[in-house]
Amino acid sequence: MEAVEVEEITRVFEPRRRSGTRVVALDEVSLTVPTGEIHGLLGPNGAGKTTLVKILSTVLLPTSGKARVLGHDVVDETEAVRPLIGIVFGGERGLYWRLSGRQNLEYWGALYKLSSREAKERAQQLLERVGMADKADERVEEYSRGMKQRLHLARGLMGDGKVLFLDEPTTGMDPLAAREFRALIGELRDEGRTILLATHDMVEAEMVCDRVTLIDRGKVIATESPRTLGQVLSRFQRIDVEGVPLVVLDEIRAIRGVASVTAVDGVGTRIEVDEEGATQLVLERLVSAGATSVRTSLPSLEEVYVQLIGERGMEI
Amino acid sequence: MRAFRAGFALELWIIRSNPDALMPLFTAPLFAIIFMAIVRQSGRPDLESDALMAPVLMTLLWVALQHAGTLMVGDRWQALLEPIIASPTSLASVLLGRIMSLMCFGLLSFFEVWAVGKLVFGVSIPFEHPVELFLTLVCTALAMAGLAVTFSALLVMTRNAYTFTNSTSFPLYLLGGVFVPVAILPDWIQPVSSILFVSWSSDLLRASVNEAPVESFWPRLGMVLLLGTASFAIGRVVLHYVLRRMRASGELAAA
Ligand SMILES: Nc1ncnc2c1ncn2[C@@H]1O[C@H](COP(=O)(O)OP(=O)(O)OP(=O)(O)O)[C@@H](O)[C@H]1O
Ligand SMILES: [Mg+2]
């Protein structure tokens, strides 16, 4: 059985005030996630990721279309769906700030029908698992963003859900914590859980997911393996540099695989590369020309989209 | 039951870390002093225990409306409503547990007014009917909790919950016979009052602290419980409807 099946889900938000506009947050989105998969939902701000996660977690009704979690309809069979899922919404809110982390978890355990002893035990296990055991009895309002995020994660696991919906679960985590988190995602999958991970972080999607669905403005653009995503990421690079003589820039422009060399306000010169290996040649040339302030960065999600879409001859 | 207990414990933790909700416990003794002063001034010692009971009911109603009633509004603002709805537990039971927690504190006002009566005015409430008194207080608190669930569900849909609770509390005090027995209010108000459990509660409470025997105690207590249960039942239905509506509109999340 598929863990998650989404069939042509559309969600429209009607304006609340007369001056407001109607928003089509999801436009006939379909996707399936087999049991045991870590599935990424990748898209820029406003793409509709959170909207889809909320529909699947039964807290938002779709305007049209069907969705099932482990075979149960998320609109008509909420009572069957709810015990099977765990949700982690990102952000600072969504916790009782005046309570300790442990109290938050114990309360959540009771909502997932654990006895108070079971809730205490599981809270302790999860606090250790997300590295929060030593802060467990401090009030949440004293936690840093990253700590709150870990608590969110632990909370999402209190119910022992078979299908987990994670919405931007690493926002606010430092790189080390984010890495530990990704390892944890792997463990969760090994325990047989299915994970739908909404993120706008391409690197994260590439690192942890088995498959990634790219969405933009409410529409599915493609479902890719993370390898394809990785290839795009390694091919397309952006190099920002300052104070390089024009002659050198002209030489660089001639290097095969250099897509563009442009002056950018506040950055200096931006060199964009679209072929594997070209980055290295460009960097070597820059260094030999004595350039010191060189920064490479990944292309933005939008740029990757444009590339993927361009290669497939699709239109948005 | 587990949901009720979870809610009860949650609210205890919240109150312990932030005792704002206990504010009415400061005002109850003050109201007791005001009402006692009026009764003394008019030379009506027979009304003294009535004067002491009014602040108890006011406190309970205040807690039900101001704090219990706005629990869902608060959860929604803290983005807690969605994850709670997504859990397998019925929100109504959790709310009932949280509200009962608040009610237990509200009941402390009884001891406060008792102390005020004793220490400030030298009157002692005649404890002639302790069982009746105890049961009336407990059932009243339960019924208030049922009412508060309804309020909680209604308030989450209004934009200005606080204005709403402020403007409902005084009519409820009046109709519920909190200050004066409903019997002396105009005739046309009587039917409205009699479907409010508060009016039964207040009459019964006054009767339980007077020396005269409490007439037909059990049927009257039954009415409190029945009307209280009905408000909880109505609360559940309203809550169900409200949640469905909010899931449709996308308003469970506070913008
Ligand atoms: N409750 C709501 N009421 C009205 N409009 C909404 C609501 N929730 C989302 N939207 C709109 O729907 C669109 C999709 O939003 P959504 O939150 O699903 O995007 P997202 O992919 O999660 O973005 P982000 O990366 O910023 O979290 C946006 O245009 C948003 O303004
Ligand atoms: Mg989002």
Chain B partners within 8 Å of A79 (Cβ) = 88
Regarding predicted confidence, which is higher, B24 or A3?
A3
Q: What is the pTM of this model?
A: 0.86
Would you state the pLDDT for residue A248? 87
Does the beta-carbon distance from A59 to B252 stay under 8 Å?
Answer: yes
Residue B6: which of A98, A110, A139 has the nearest Cβ?
A: A110
Would you state the pLDDT for residue B182? 80
Q: Is residue A305 predicted with pLDDT exceeding 90?
A: no
d(CA B83, CA B218) in angstroms, rounded, equals 42
Rounded to the nearest whole angstrom, what is the distance from the C-alpha of residue A83 to the centroid of ligand 1?
Answer: 26
**3-state per-residue secondary structure call for chain A:** CEEEEEEEEEEEECCCCCCCCCEEEEEEEEEEEECCCEEEEECCCCCCHHHHHHHHCCCCCCCEEEEEECCEECCCCHHHHHHHEEEEECCCCCCCCCCEHHHHHHHHHHHCCCCHHHHHHHHHHHHHHCCCHHHCCCEHHHCCHHHHHHHHHHHHHHCCCCEEEEECCCCCCCHHHHHHHHHHHHHHHHCCCEEEEEECCHHHHHHHCCEEEEEECCEEEEEECHHHHHHHHHHCEEEEECCCCHHHHHHHHHCCCEEEEEEECCCEEEEEECCCCHHHHHHHHHHHCCCCCEEEECCCHHHHHHHHHHHHCCCC
Mean pLDDT for chain A? 89
Q: Is A59 on the interface with B (CB under 8 A)?
A: yes
Would you state the pLDDT for residue B193? 83
Would you state the pLDDT for residue A238? 85
Q: Give residue limits of the domains in chain A.
A: 2-231, 237-297
d(CA A180, CA A196) in angstroms, rounded, equals 18
Would you state the pLDDT for residue A233? 72
Rounded to the nearest whole angstrom, what is the distance from the C-alpha of residue A47 to the centroid of ligand 2?
Answer: 8
Taking the CB of residue A175, how many other CB atoms lie within 10 A of it?
A: 8
Residue closest by Cα to atom 2 of ligand 1 = B250
Would you state the pLDDT for residue A310? 63
Q: Is residue B35 predicted with pLDDT exceeding 50?
A: yes
Does the beta-carbon distance from A110 to B5 stay under 8 Å?
Answer: yes
Chain A partners within 8 Å of B10 (Cβ) = 96, 99, 103, 107
Would you state the pLDDT for residue B161? 67
What Cα–Cα distance (Å) separates residue B232 from each residue in A256, B5, B178, B222, B227? Answer: 74, 17, 21, 15, 9
Rounded to the nearest whole angstrom, what is the distance from the C-alpha of residue A127 to the centroid of ligand 2?
Answer: 25
Would you state the pLDDT for residue B183? 81
Least confident range of A92-106, A157-171, A286-300 = A286-300
Indicate whether residue A51 lines ligand 1 (CB < 6 A): yes
Chain B partners within 8 Å of A171 (Cβ) = none
Could you read off the pLDDT of A9-45 as tens digits, one per residue?
999 999 888 888 899 999 999 999 999 999 999 988 8
- Pocket-testing residue among A9, A24, A50, ligand 1, by greatest number of atoms within 8 A of Cβ: A50
Taking the CB of residue A57, how many other CB atoms lie within 10 A of it?
A: 27
Task: Please compute, for residue A177, the number of CA atoms within 13 A of its CA located in the half-sphere on the CB side.
Answer: 18
Chain B partners within 8 Å of A96 (Cβ) = 10, 13-14, 78, 80
Does the beta-carbon distance from B17 to A99 stay under 8 Å?
Answer: yes
Using pLDDT thresholds of 50, 70 and 90, give the confidence band for residue B225: very high
Rounded to the nearest whole angstrom, what is the distance from the C-alpha of residue A50 to the centroid of ligand 2?
Answer: 4
Rounded to the nearest whole angstrom, what is the distance from the C-alpha of residue B254 to the centroid of ligand 1?
Answer: 12
Could you read off the pLDDT of B123-166 as tens digits, one per residue?
888 788 889 999 999 999 999 988 888 888 888 877 676 777 77
Q: Is residue B175 predicted with pLDDT exceeding 70?
A: yes
Would you state the pLDDT for residue B255? 61
Indicate whether residue A46 lines ligand 1 (CB < 6 A): yes
Please give the residue range of the domain that contains residue B168: 2-249
Indicate whether residue B250 lines ligand 1 (CB < 6 A): yes
Average pLDDT for A91-102: 91
Q: Is A155 on the interface with B (CB under 8 A)?
A: yes
Q: Is residue B188 predicted with pLDDT exceeding 90?
A: no
Would you state the pLDDT for residue A82? 97
Indicate whether residue A90 lines ligand 1 (CB < 6 A): no
Least confident range of A156-165, B53-62, B149-158 = B149-158
* Fold (CATH) for A237-297: Alpha-Beta Plaits (3.30.70)
- Packing angle, helices B217-249 and B91-121, rounded to 10: 130
What residue of B is the nearest CA neighbor of A95? Answer: B80
Ligand nearest to C-alpha A51 = 1
Q: Which CATH superfamily is domain A2-231 in?
A: P-loop containing nucleotide triphosphate hydrolases (3.40.50.300)
Radius of gyration of chain B (CA): 19
Could you read off the pLDDT of A234-285 as tens digits, one per residue?
778 888 888 888 888 888 888 888 888 888 887 788 888 888 788 888 888 8
Count of structural domains, chain B: 1
Would you state the pLDDT for residue A315? 46
Q: Nearest CA to CA, how far is B141 from chain A (Å)?
A: 24
Q: Is residue B54 predicted with pLDDT exceeding 50?
A: yes
Residue B30 lies in a domain: yes
d(CA A85, CA A162) in angstroms, rounded, equals 6
Average pLDDT for B109-125: 89
Residue B255 lies in a domain: no
Would you state the pLDDT for residue A266? 77
Would you state the pLDDT for residue A316? 42
Residue B182 lies in a domain: yes
